[in-house]
Structure 1
Amino acid sequence: MVFAPDSFKGSIPADEVARVLAAGWGSVRAGDGLILKPMADGGEGTLNAFEAAVPGACWMPVTVPGPAGVDIESSWLLLPPTEDAPDGTGVVELASTSGIELLGSDRRPWTAHTRGFGRAIVAALDHGVSRLVLGIGSSASTDGGIGMLTELGARFTGAGGAPVPDGAEGMSGVLAADLSGLRSLPEAGVVVLCDVTNPLTGPVGAAPVFGPQKGLTADDIVEVDAALVRLARLLPANPSDTGAGAAGGAGFALLAWGAPLVPGAVAVGDLIGLPAAIRDADLVITGEGSFDGQSAAGKAPDLVTRIAAAANVRVGLVAGRIDRTAELGRFAATMSLTELAGSATAAMSSPQTWLHEAGRALASTLGRQA
């Protein structure tokens, strides 16, 4: 059987969810063959999900300029060679190099940047990987991706031809963009994992929708959105494209580099071999932190259930909270940690305990039906 949960955001990463659920199941049915395929959509936890699901994946440490303006220790992930990528695939996560969690409560809406993400991409390119997989969730900045592109060799200048500062502050002063020094994409290309569909600018663009969580005020949003409009005139990409507004405009910058954006969960599933694993299974367990009506809109549990339905494989669902008005008929069984623990507070205070209990409970019910 296969365990393919997403992370329980704000509580526990997907690889840990899969491991603890499997341990709970195994405590009841020790003889079952258990395969862990933790899921991600490009945000925090993407590297861990790949490391857990791909045998031979190797952590590659790198020092990068963090979003707070000081160097931080981070890593990218090297996946083993394949026929399509004979020199391996580099997986780079924006969340662990330029992510908002790296700032804690210290939001820096004007100076946070994506240079760290770009530096890690360069490290993977310098290693000689054949392909890149880039996760762009959880950004700390709204710099239009200029920090990332600068690390990749672009040059952004303002008044008098001087290089602009980092962050939205610098982006607001960009008058010219020189992309002639940009690094080339690797031979087997780049896949950008994106979990939003917002355009770069306008009412549902990067600044109005995601700016407040990064510290932008109402007045800031107007100014930053106008700066993104100006930046869009300088780069060879369409600001209206799906996902261009992701990660504070880093999605748009990657489009300008020539890297396509794809739905994160689908791409991760393909890259870790999820469809093949499910086809060979009798049962798959999926889940996420909160399951409700929006969970059917392309998130990991929806993808898992669609793959399983096509293969005529049963699915069990585990979530921190389950909206019982949501469509649950697709699942052979459902398990809410909140209901198991008696309250959301109890469930979140010890998620490993209740995930283990959920695994045991599912093994006792679904296991008998195998």
Structure 2
Amino acid sequence: MKIVLAPDSYKGSLSAAEVCHILTEEIHGVDGNIEVVSMPLSDGGEGLVDCLGQALGGEIFPCQVQDPMGRPVTARYLMTSEGTAIIEMAAASGLPLLAPEELNPMETSSYGTGELILDALKRGCRQIIMGIGGSATIDGGMGMASALGLCFVDGEGNRLKGCGADLMRVMGVEGSLPKALSEVPITIACDVDNPLCGPRGAAAVFGPQKGADPEMIDYLDRGLAHFSQMMEGLVREGLQQEELQSIKGMGAAGGIALPLYALEGAVLRGGLDIILDVLDFDGCIAGSQYIITGEGRTDAQSAMGKVVSGVARRGKAQGIPVIALSGAVEPGIEALYEIGLTAAFATCTNTRELEWQMTHAGDNLRRAARNILSLIMV
């Protein structure tokens, strides 16, 4: 028997590699002859560098940048031997860098992500792949663009910080992006297809998890619409004057892709598809009897380009049952079954507080794995 393990991280508790290690131990505890193929995954957010680093090799570079609140933090990115820079936005501008009481997309900035890109350019990168999951910002990429050389000013010519609160204040753009940036292909690994604005936009859908209240959400949504109009006026020669607000995926990570798409022709592509293709996922799952995937919480959003949905879709294409073992399984996941998921199970089955569940995530996973293995090994 062959079982493929293809989980995402359980954010805040277990990395994807740790999940694979635990599941491998439990499977071999049942039958040491089972072939286990471990493929820790990422949808373009947390774990992208580690995931692609294992497949592509290269060198990890540490870089001191600003966190979402402007404090110094050491982030890292991967440079492959062929000169491709693999950058995680979450490493510089991610939710894990903030305490719960600090979450406020009006104040947070993607400036540190721009600093990572700038460092990679200085090291001579020839291509950039940037994962944008897990961000703490809704600034339309203004902070990132500021770090790269643009200067956004208000109606009186005052330079703006580049945070969510500044979106409505932008009345002019000065400066320029590095010439080197226009000479490297940029692929943005985007894990959702939400547009920039509106009911499914960056502020409305993702604002609450970043600390936005209803008043902030309304302001940020209007601010992103205003900022995108500013970008439309700067679209570089050769690119179509598209309606930036309606492009699929532009609402991911608080609109971080906006300046790179408008000014540099960056390509938005499903982060998971990039990773699965690099890893030759289809070839690896061939001949397997089961695929086990999972994430911290499986819910309705999991069908929107997340690891579980991508794995389920590819498993279905080869007629392989796909089982999700996630920390929590919420109602509303019918779309996942249509995509190809066979069954979903929650590892947290009691009413203990979240902190306890996070601390005992490994034990919870082991217990759930034993039950699932008892079922499928009958």
| 1:137 shift after superposition | 1.9
CA distance in 1, matches of 2:228, 2:88: 24
1:156-195 deviation line (CA, Å, top 9, x unaligned):
2334544322312333322222464344447662221222
Residue 35 (1) aligns with residue 37 (2)? yes
Alignment match, 1:167 = 163
| CA distance, structure 1, for counterparts of residue 149 and residue 69 of structure 2 | 22
The amino acid that maps onto 2:95 is: I
Tell me, yes or no, if the aligned pair for 2:138 and 2:203 is still in contact at 8 Å.
yes
Q: Is the 8 A contact 1:283 1:314 kept in 2?
A: yes
Whether 2:61 is the aligned partner of 1:60: answer yes
Query: Which stretch of structure 1 is more off in the superposition, 206-215 or 263-272?
Result: 206-215
**1:231-310 counterparts in 2 under 5 A?**
231-235=227-231, 236=235, 238-256=244-262, 257-279=264-286, 281-291=288-298, 295-310=302-317
Q: 1:351 aligns with which of 343, 351, 361?
A: 361
Alignment of 1:314-333 (within 5 A): 314-322=321-329, 326=334
Letter in 1 for 2:26: G
CA-to-aligned-CA distance 1:64-111 (integer Å, 9 cap, x gap): 0111121111111234x4xxxxx2422211112011221212124333
C-alpha separation in 1, matches of 2:280 and 2:71: 37
- Pair 1:118-2:114 in alignment: yes
Whether 1:92 aligns to 2:87 is yes
Match of 2:106, SS state, is coil
Q: Alignment length, in residue pairs?
A: 359
Match 1:152 to one of 148, 153, 160: 148
323 and 66 in structure 1: CA distance in 2 versus 1, 3 angstrom threshold = closer
SS in structure 2 opposite 1:307? helix
Following the alignment from structure 2 to structure 1, what is the Cα–Cα distance between the partners of residues 289 and 256?
40
Superposition TM-score, scaled by structure 1 size: 0.83
The equivalent of 2:198 in structure 1 is 202
How far did residue 362 of structure 1 move? 4.8
How do residues 17-36 of structure 1 correspond to structure 2 at under 5 angstroms?
A: 17-36=19-38
Residue identity (%)? 32
Distance in 1, Cα, partners of 2:138 & 2:300:
29
Deviation, structure 1 residue 360: 4.5
Whether contact under 8 Å (1:164, 1:171) holds in the other structure is: no
Q: Cα distance, 1:358 vs. partner? A: 4.1
Q: TM-score, normalised by structure 2?
A: 0.82
- Structure 1 spans left out of the alignment, 5+ residues: 82-86
Distance 1:21 1:255 in 2: 40
CA offset at residue 286 of structure 1?
A: 1.4
CA RMSD after TM alignment: 3.1
> Tell me, what secondary structure is at the counterpart of 2:113?
helix
> Structure 1's 137 and 156: CA in aligned 2 closer, same or farther, altered over 3 A?
same
